[in-house]
Amino acid sequence: MKAELRTYILADADVAAIIDTRLYPEVAHQQDGSSAYAIYKTLNSTTVDTHSDDGILYEDLIDLSIHAPNVTQMYELSDALRAILSNKRITLSPYNLHIRWTGMNTGYTDNDEIASASITLDITWS
């Protein structure tokens, strides 16, 4: 499901205009912060038995860390991501996803060379 989600995110023109293909699983090697990028990783993963013939649902808590050379670009990226990831039901063949944007935390100061934020997504999928 994560590979399909990555493809979905990068297919958005507004997101791609900011990060191009710089969306990495787990860690971003050799990024110096001169260009915006994002990292996604699973914080928690559980399964839910639906007690029906429809099978099992999966619930993943995903952290999407975004980094940009300035605060303006960080917020532009977060706005673009929110437009495609906030409270959405999407089908990414063969998966059906319900994505809830549960929060965004920023922890930058004016002295930081890279503006960063952490977005939390709660994804239920089957």
Q: Name the burial class of residue 49, with classes exposed (0-12), middle (13-18) and buried (19+) by CB atoms within 10 angstroms of its CB.
A: exposed
| Residue 58: domain span | 2-27+34-125
Q: What's the CATH code of the domain at 79? A: 3.30.2000.10
- pLDDT band for position 102 (cuts 50, 70, 90): very high
Q: What is the model's pLDDT at position 9?
A: 97
The answer to whether 120 touches 103, Cβ cutoff 8 Å, is: yes
Residue pLDDT, tens place only, 19-55: 999 999 999 988 888 999 999 999 999 988 767 666 6
Instruction: Report how many domains make up the chain.
Output: 1
Residue whose entry in the numeric block shows the structure tokens 């997101």: 15
The answer to whether 70 touches 113, Cβ cutoff 8 Å, is: no
Residue pLDDT, tens place only, 71-99: 899 999 999 999 999 999 999 989 999 99
